[in-house]
Structure 1
Amino acid sequence: MATPGAEEDMLARYRSPLVSRYASAEMAFNFSERKKFGTWRRLWLYLAQAEKSLGLPITDEQIQEMEANLDNIDFKMAAEEEKKLRHDVMAHVHTFAHCCPKAAAIIHLGATSCYVGDNTDLIVLRDGFNLLLPKLARVISRLANFAEKYADLPTLGFTHYQAYIVTGQTYSRKVDIEVLSVLASLGASIHKICTDIRLLANLKEIEEPFEKEQIGSSAMPYKRNPMRSERCCSLARHLMTLVLDPLQTASVQWFERTLDDSANRRVCLAEAFLTADIILSTLQNISEGLVVYPKVIERRIRQELPFMATENIIMAMVKAGGNRQDCHEKIRVLSQQAAAVVKQEGGDNDLITRVHADPYFSPIHGHLESLLDPSSFTGRAPQQVAKFLKEEVRPALMPYQSKMGGKIELAL
């Protein structure tokens, strides 16, 4: 049997009819591989331009080379690199570097995979809404014209004169969707918060309140299960599913109303508010009694910091004249060796000892101590917290200060 060509190979795979038959060319492109990876390259260009403006050793020639190859993507090479490296971002770093030999040393410098991944996702979502909103506006405009044309035409209808400007016998059941969507979103946020607390409790870095005589396990006396967080997660999952009820109810309202909505609404609306009330009360109890164990955190940082410092080491080496991709490979090998000591032998992380012993890193041997300073890894986090509290959180809480039992101080 002959080996199928690229086109035949594509025909042998499932293709979503959403794209092949129905989607607009613009929206299909928005979620395409070419848009995705072309955006990655533009983000790498913006990164290099920003780093150059901040004084990093990046030349105009390197910038121009990247600009000239933004859409020159060898997808076959990228696929082969990803198959070998098992890492999509690094596969495209190497593919971009192949056509930008002068800029190869600084592509993706100081960045994580999420720099291109998450930012591209957000750009694609934004562009997707930019495609949808004009279409929605056109539909609304056409319906408005239709309503205006036939506004005086008498038709049979049933209305009980609700508060809303335009309504049938009942208020639009889309209101229920909006209400439960907000509560479902609250459930998702609380689930995320409490899941993180449970994970941190497992690491013994943070614990929720634990009563003096509370029992964590009938079999294991030492256990301090985060039972409040577990309860929040369990109930939050129920809260998140309730939004499906009003979605289905609103979708099957015949003309102005069908009576099959009442029993469902009696359950889902009340249960959503009851569940939200329970988990908020529980989360308040958790938040008022969280305990942090700095010594445990410090010990874990010491064990992991050498791995975390690898990007700083790469940055320092590039600043000293090294090649980012070459340095990445050197660090990757040494990191795997150090990880083997930790995982297979139960030993301490000896990555920095290995870096000290490798002459390749001699240009930065004298800077390793400063590169390993934990405070250098927090970035703008403290300032971001203060700004977020001042500009977002505190103003949002102001209308409720009388119900919270005290004055709300604005963060400086």
Structure 2
Amino acid sequence: MENFTYESPLITRYASKELLAIFSKEKKYTTWRKLWVSLAKAQKKLGLNITEKQINELEANESNIAFSTVSKYEKKLRHEVMAHIRAYADLCPSAKGIIHLGATSSYVMDNADLIIYKEALQYIHRKLLEVIKVFSSFAREHKDTPCVSYTHFQVATATTIGKRVCLWLQDLLLDAKQIKRQIEEISFLGVKGATGTQDSFLKLFSGKISLVKELEELVASDFGFTDIVSIASQTYPRKYDQHIAQCFDSLGASTHKISTDIRLLSHTKELYESVEKSQVGSSAMPYKKNPILNERVCSLARLLISKTQNASYNLALQWLERSLDDSANRRIFMPEMFLIADSILELLFKVGSNLKVDTEKTNEILNDHLVYLIQEPLLMQSVANGSDRQIIHEKLRTFSRSTNKPNISDLISFLENDPEISLRRSDVEQLISLNTCFGAANLQCLDFLDSDVAEALNSANNTPLKMQDLRI
């Protein structure tokens, strides 16, 4: 039957088992039960009439979820949280009356989401640092490898492969900082009651707000939170979802840019993905070697960017203290943003680990365009020798347009025959070395890797993160 039922490709093809487990039904609903246990234990500690036997019963059945029973209840009640309460109560007859005491649905739903989102963001952050690490190694290896830079995808000046990769890394570092900041900013919803006034808990504790605050702190601490949302309605602020989405919107743009650049450079033959021995590039053209991993990154990145808009719509369209029209799409797009980001990072890690440079091709392109690449350095040298920049700029522009493909000899003759240009043959010869035509690109690359990148990697969790083998 499974072949007759739709399955998301994120599950079957792309996302890692680790992140799929974080967003699993088992994880989500076990967390609900942990929240109910935590609430009951805190309420008992603060003096409510809850027995040790009831607590023990709840804890004993924390992971014993009968999903078929839940489904039967939900079909009848049309309410997911009540269905889970009933199914839990069936297993805990003595604790039946104190499950969900004083709480509203968002107590389990929203707090569980925050717990899961925080854990998932931590996982994404670690995986992003692994991608940064592998691309930084590639950048270091090629810090001195000269290549042509492009503006408007037209030849511009010389740079190095390593410097170009550092431009990618800079974007990824900004994304990593944004994700880390978001992890730190996630607060626990706490115990807020039906519309955020905590009235139900005040009634339970005879109007003692100090006990309600202590209750909230006890529950939050059970799940590793020190910060609790100060002001809330029924749910946690949907601004949180929007901020998480902004992290993924940014990551999607960064990764799309990286893979687009690699695809363009695959066309010029300067960079290429490693191709597996049995890999087929085309069913029609046997010779094809396509940058399929980077194409997949771009495809998923565009999807990721489009998913993030839902968070802003949900925030904008929440009515007063709460409306439920965010629920159905949050079930879909919130986990999927994480899973898509995870899939992209898995792919980029594979790309960065096996990216190749064809130095013969990069040198060939440099030599073919050397007559243009040295013109800005010649312009600077001419000014240093006393010439007027604007005059020399115009003369070089005129020379460049005078023939379809000028060469170095043509340039030297042109310079020597113009008395207004204070340049000598030795000036040109000194500037045509491929190892000196890229300015400070190699030094910038090294400085960046040893400062910004090293700082990010050194402050990271040093526990190795295993990347999965690509399934497709």
TM-score (norm 2): 0.49
For 2:290 and 2:320, locate their aligned partners in 1 and report how far apart those are by CA, in whole Å: 52
What is aligned with 1:401? 462
Q: What one-letter code is carried by the residue in structure 2 that aligns with 1:365?
A: R
Q: Please say if 1:221 is aligned against 2:286.
A: yes
Q: Please say if 1:373 is aligned against 2:437.
A: no
Q: What one-letter code is carried by the residue in structure 1 that aligns with 2:424?
A: I
In structure 2, relative to structure 1, the CA distance for the partners of 1:247 and 1:195 (3 Å cut) is same
Contact 1:205–1:297 under 8 Å retained in 2: yes
What is aligned with 1:204? 269
Contact 2:431–2:437 under 8 Å retained in 1: no
- The Cα of 1:219 is off from its aligned counterpart by 2.4
Contact 1:304–1:349 under 8 Å retained in 2: no
For 2:229 and 2:422, locate their aligned partners in 1 and report how far apart those are by CA, in whole Å: 74
Over residues 123-158 of structure 1, what are the superposed CA-to-partner deviations in whole Å (9 max), with x where a residue is unaligned? xxxxxxxxxxxxxxxxxxxxxxxxxxxxxxxxx981
Secondary structure of the 1:164 match is: coil
What is aligned with 1:159? 196
What is aligned with 2:348? 283
Secondary structure of the 2:237 match is: coil
What is aligned with 1:262? 327
Larger radius of gyration: 2
Contact 1:181–1:243 under 8 Å retained in 2: yes
For 1:249 and 1:377, locate their aligned partners in 2 and report how far apart those are by CA, in whole Å: 52
What is aligned with 1:341? 405
Secondary structure of the 2:354 match is: coil
- The Cα of 1:379 is off from its aligned counterpart by 2.3
Q: What one-letter code is carried by the residue in structure 2 that aligns with 1:158?
A: T
Over residues 36-82 of structure 1, what are the superposed CA-to-partner deviations in whole Å (9 max), with x where a residue is unaligned? xxxxxxxxxxxxxxxxxxxxxxxxxxxxxxxxxxxxxxxxxxxxxxx
What is aligned with 1:302? 367
- The Cα of 1:353 is off from its aligned counterpart by 4.5
Contact 1:184–1:243 under 8 Å retained in 2: yes
Give the one of 286, 291, 295 matched to 1:230: 295
In structure 2, relative to structure 1, the CA distance for the partners of 1:355 and 1:160 (3 Å cut) is farther
**How many residue pairs are counted as aligned between the two chains?**
244
For 1:264 and 1:298, locate their aligned partners in 2 and report how far apart those are by CA, in whole Å: 51
Paired residues for 1:111-150 under 5 Å: none
In structure 2, relative to structure 1, the CA distance for the partners of 1:350 and 1:303 (3 Å cut) is farther
In structure 2, relative to structure 1, the CA distance for the partners of 1:240 and 1:384 (3 Å cut) is same
What is aligned with 1:57? none
In structure 2, relative to structure 1, the CA distance for the partners of 1:288 and 1:179 (3 Å cut) is same
Q: Please say if 1:358 is aligned against 2:395.
A: no
Secondary structure of the 1:400 match is: coil
For 2:412 and 2:295, locate their aligned partners in 1 and report how far apart those are by CA, in whole Å: 42
Where relative contact order (Cα < 8 A, 6+ residues apart) is larger, the structure is 2
For 2:310 and 2:282, locate their aligned partners in 1 and report how far apart those are by CA, in whole Å: 37
- The Cα of 1:222 is off from its aligned counterpart by 2.0
Q: What one-letter code is carried by the residue in structure 1 that aligns with 2:414?
A: V
In structure 2, relative to structure 1, the CA distance for the partners of 1:275 and 1:349 (3 Å cut) is farther
Contact 2:416–2:423 under 8 Å retained in 1: no
What is aligned with 2:450? 390
Q: What one-letter code is carried by the residue in structure 1 that aligns with 2:394?
A: E
Contact 2:260–2:294 under 8 Å retained in 1: yes
In structure 2, relative to structure 1, the CA distance for the partners of 1:214 and 1:168 (3 Å cut) is same
- The Cα of 1:366 is off from its aligned counterpart by 2.4
TM-score (norm 1): 0.56
For 1:376 and 1:207, locate their aligned partners in 2 and report how far apart those are by CA, in whole Å: 25
In structure 2, relative to structure 1, the CA distance for the partners of 1:321 and 1:391 (3 Å cut) is closer
Contact 1:334–1:351 under 8 Å retained in 2: no
In structure 2, relative to structure 1, the CA distance for the partners of 1:269 and 1:350 (3 Å cut) is farther
Contact 2:196–2:233 under 8 Å retained in 1: yes
Gap regions ≥5 residues in structure 1: 1-155, 343-347, 406-412
What is aligned with 2:113? none
Contact 1:160–1:170 under 8 Å retained in 2: no
For 1:227 and 1:160, locate their aligned partners in 2 and report how far apart those are by CA, in whole Å: 53
Q: What one-letter code is carried by the residue in structure 1 that aligns with 2:256?
A: H
In structure 2, relative to structure 1, the CA distance for the partners of 1:386 and 1:357 (3 Å cut) is closer
RMSD (Å), alpha carbons = 2.2
Which region of structure 1 is more displaced relative to structure 2, 160-169 or 259-268?
160-169
In structure 2, relative to structure 1, the CA distance for the partners of 1:271 and 1:351 (3 Å cut) is farther
Over residues 240-293 of structure 1, what are the superposed CA-to-partner deviations in whole Å (9 max), with x where a residue is unaligned? 111210101101111121100001111110110110011100110111001111
Secondary structure of the 1:396 match is: helix
Contact 1:177–1:246 under 8 Å retained in 2: yes
Q: What one-letter code is carried by the residue in structure 1 that aligns with 2:195?
A: F
Give the one of 326, 330, 340 matched to 2:391: 326
